[in-house]
Structures are given as C-alpha cells and as structure tokens.
Amino acid sequence: MKKKIKKEKTISEPKVIDAVLKWAYKHSYGLKPKIKHGNKHGVDLELNHEKTRHKYYIECKGGPHDEVNFVYSLGQIITRMNRKPLGVNYGIALPAKSAEIARKRIPRDFATRNKLTIFSVSNNGAVKRLVPSDFRKEIN
C-alpha cells in the first residue's frame, strides 16, 4: 500500500501581496502604496518610504509553480526597469521555494547594478527581505 504524501499548499499571489504590504507598513514603506488589481498593466506594488521617499517597484507571484513564478516575476520586473525613472529599487516577491530558486540563480552583480531585492514569503505570511549580498550563498 502506497503512502500518500501530503503536498504542502503554497501561498497564493493575493496573500503574497498582503504579506509584503504588512512588511511595508512595518518598515515605513507604507506611504500611499499603489496596488495593481486584476489585469491592469504595471508592477503589482509601488511602495514609498515615509521619510526618505525611496521607492520600491515589486512584482509578486504565488502558487505552486516554483520555477515558473521565478522566471515570470524576473522577466516582468526586468521589462519595468526600462520604463520607470532612475533611483528606484526593484523587487520580486515570491513564495519561499521560488525565492530560494531566485536567490541561487540571480547573479549578485546583476542584482546590485539593478537594485534588485527578493522578498521571500513563507506560507504563514512571514516576509524575509533578501538583498544582493544574500544572493548565491546559503541562508537559514
């Protein structure tokens, strides 16, 4: 008799967006956030720091397709880099497994040059911000 392996459900895109918004408010990036709803064009989240006015443009993905989430989010945020003003930080917010794939595969130099951050979102909604110095090395 085969044992059924219970596959852990992966956090959905709306829950990834909610978790990153909670992170943003906690870290003073909650000044008039712009959230993309539905099939509108543009990044999923536009965040502004309350004091410094630094901006984050973040593309979010969720669901069980780890590799696809990584590839789509990276492709979408790269296309936004040509269209938005200079001085903006970019981010991809992904479920933890997809974020780990991204952390291992995105070159640190590329992420540094393009101000790219990964937001790793666990199934319980905890957000871990990974900056370029965290890329391509083991984390716990």
Residue 34 has pLDDT above 70, yes or no: yes
Q: Judge whether 3 lies within some domain.
A: no
How many domains does the chain divide into? 1
Residues 102, 51 contacting (CB under 8 angstroms): no
pLDDT averaged over every residue in the chain: 86
Token pair in block for residue 72: 């789509």
Q: Judge whether 45 lies within some domain.
A: yes
Q: Judge whether 8 lies within some domain.
A: no
Per-residue pLDDT tens over the stretch 88-117: 899 999 999 999 999 999 999 999 989 999
Confidence of residue 81 (pLDDT cuts 50, 70, 90): confident
Residues 119, 129 contacting (CB under 8 angstroms): yes
Confidence of residue 83 (pLDDT cuts 50, 70, 90): low
Which residue type occupies 89? N
Task: Work out the percent of the chain whose per-residue pLDDT is above 70.
Answer: 86
Q: Judge whether 118 lies within some domain.
A: yes
Q: Judge whether 2 lies within some domain.
A: no
**Dihedral Cα 52, 14, 125, 75, nearest 10 deg:** -70
User: Sheet of 88-95: strands edge to edge?
Assistant: 34-35, 45-48, 55-60, 88-95, 116-121, 127-130
Q: Judge whether 1 lies within some domain.
A: no
Q: Judge whether 27 lies within some domain.
A: yes
Residue 6 has pLDDT above 60, yes or no: no
Per-residue pLDDT tens over the stretch 36-60: 876 777 789 999 988 888 889 999 9
Which residue range(s) make up the domain with 64? 13-85+96-133
The C-alpha angle 11, 63, 92, rounded to 5 degrees, equals 85
